[in-house]
Chain A
């Protein structure tokens, strides 16, 4: 196992910068999830750690050793790709053993590692099949197995679940979590799915347009977002935002222009300390135990989560309120403004 250290790492393609001086530290054995919208540079950053992209500036260190100039092979990392990237002309067994054969491992060692990985991943019966004969989930397992057998110091995952259907995604998510617990490996995992990020990570790094917005434990990032972007990106449905002018004076600290509150902190009724005026019900999404109610407050969309068994009727007008503790404040640049104690 090894730590991964990014110091002032930047990347440009031609004259256009993609990654801006990122500092990030992944302690040995930690599961770090890089999360952000498409095009934010998270995959590029991962590929730089893998050695598939050159580093334009700064240093990447794995296990304390700067690896900028090393080939992927020399870095001791293994990667799981979004589209599995299995060798279609090889059987599952050959896919798993390809890297080991290239590394000139003994055949007894290869057999032992492949058998072991296949057992852990439930692929023992599939070893003689070719990737074309496997389901999406099985292919993903082979891709994971191919990384596992090499016993790398660091696992890199590039949106590994995005090609799977929703049910399978939940199951594979659990398997990746188990894999991490079993191997205690350092993992850097890229996704645009914030639920994956929240459920898998020891630490989340939220990226936007080549910048690191916030790094922290999943619940810390959720409960204490540093920017409006993080607040809107982490959490489903996303946080509600209203102009500060819609709130009574005194409720909003100086410098804040936007007020945010999560759907679960939005109260349909008057029990909250701060009244938000009347809202009209636009849409109700029942999810079983809870329902999301999409409302319109003076032309602004607001979502409320309700546990009520009977959801409000469409076009119903009702009062909306929030507790002061549920509010987040942001300045014009989207930075968090802390309320004065």
Chain B
């Protein structure tokens, strides 16, 4: 028994060491720093208690970034999940194209978010971009997508949905693939129409996948950074400054490490609450075979 336990710990150790160095230690350090004021030049720390949190609570910028984050999350997760689910169901019906399109849709996931964002910089360019060119063909005068506070967040959200689509599709396709064809046929024999089969057989059986994709999408959205950084830099006029982007600005532009750490802790809490909430809401609706 004891030898087995030693062996188990030994085999687990690479992962545990990695987790400790890159996840647990920084998390604890963040919490520790969030209770301090850190001097940007000397890195000297002075204890300030919950002052950083107090300042955050009073900061209108912070509340605005929280709101931006929530809007951005809703605007990326809901369309992202619905569109990818639709595409996956469509691909699942056409076995000949499944492999080909799965690869096509997965390509954006494989390229770095900086690269993907650069692509969208070209697309969104108000004078030379493809989007406004196409809109022009339709007789629509396209806006300055990334430069107009009214459109910037939507523009970043569209780019994000596009980038994440393939990831979701692959999971949905795998989930659909796992539903035995015989069950669909049994429902057909039971007299279910295609829509009834989708609602009453496919969706319940796909619910664990849907739940997983939802949770991961929400977390990814709340942590989005690369595309915001490249596309808008949090602007214009803070219109795309999400919580993560605000945290970045405080930590690496304003060098207020303690204050940024407090934001990191709050972001962590927000993600935890959002995930817990989803688990709670989904508990009754997710069917694990």
Task: Specify which chain A residues have a CB less than 8 angstroms from the CB of B87 in the assembled complex.
Answer: none
**B196 beta carbon closer than 8 Å to chain A:** yes
- CB–CB A89/B186 < 8 A: no
**Contact (A85, B183) CB under 8 Å given A102-B196, A132-B289:** yes
Check if A57 is an interface residue, CB within 8 A of chain B. no
- B287: chain A residues within 8 A (beta carbon): 88-89
Kindly supply a per-residue 1/0 record for chain A positions 67-79, scoring 1 wherever the CB is within 8 Å of any chain B CB and 0 otherwise.
0000111000111
Cβ-based interface call for A292 (8 A) = no
The residue in chain B whose Cβ has the minimal distance to the Cβ of A147 is: B189
Complex contact A99–B191 (CB within 8 A): yes
A88 touches B205 (CB 8 A): yes
In the complex, how many angstroms separate the beta carbon of B145 from the nearest chain A beta carbon? 43
The contact string, 1 if C-beta is below 8 Å from chain B, for chain A 314-340, is: 000000000000000000000000000
B75 contacts the other chain (CB 8 A): no
Given A81-B182, A82-B182, also A102-B190 (CB < 8 A): yes
Q: What is the number of residues of chain B that contact chain A, defined by CB distance less than 8 Å? A: 19
Instruction: Report A115-159 residues with CB < 8 Å from chain B CB.
Output: 132, 146, 150
* Whole-angstrom CA separation of A72 from B189 in the bound complex: 5
User: Residues of B contacting A86 with CB < 8 Å?
Assistant: 183, 186
A103 touches B191 (CB 8 A): yes
A87-B201, A88-B289, A89-B205 in contact; A102/B186 too (CB < 8 A)?
no
Shortest C-beta distance, A33 to chain B (Å), equals 20
Known contacts A88-B205, A102-B196: A72-B180 contact under CB 8 Å:
no
Q: Inside 8 A of B219's CB, which chain A residues have their CB? A: none
- In whole angstroms, how far apart are the Cα atoms of A99 and B201 in the complex? 12
In the complex, how many angstroms separate the beta carbon of A87 from the nearest chain B beta carbon?
6
CB-CB under 8 A for A102 and B192, given A85-B182, A88-B289: yes
A88 to B179, CA, bound (A): 10
Residues of A within 8 A of B200 (CB): 98
A50 within 8 A of B: yes
Rounded to whole angstroms, the CA-CA distance of A190 and B196 in the bound complex is 29
List B contacts of A78 (CB < 8 A).
189
Q: How far is the CB of A128 from chain B (nearest CB, A)?
A: 15
Q: Is A174 an interface residue (CB 8 A)?
A: no
Of residues 166 to 205 in B, which have CB atoms within 8 Å of A's CB atoms? 180, 182-183, 185-192, 196, 200-201, 204-205
Residue of A nearest to B204 (CB): A89
Structural contact, B188 and A83, CB atoms closer than 8 A: no
Q: Residues on B close to A: CB < 8 A? A: 180, 182-183, 185-192, 196, 200-201, 204-205, 207, 287, 289
* A52-B188, A89-B289 given; 4 more Cβ-contact pairs under 8 Å: A78-B189, A82-B182, A89-B205, A98-B190
Could you name 13 residue pairs across A and B whose Cβ atoms are closer than 8 Å? A71-B188, A72-B191, A73-B190, A73-B191, A81-B182, A81-B185, A81-B186, A85-B182, A87-B183, A87-B201, A88-B205, A89-B289, A102-B190
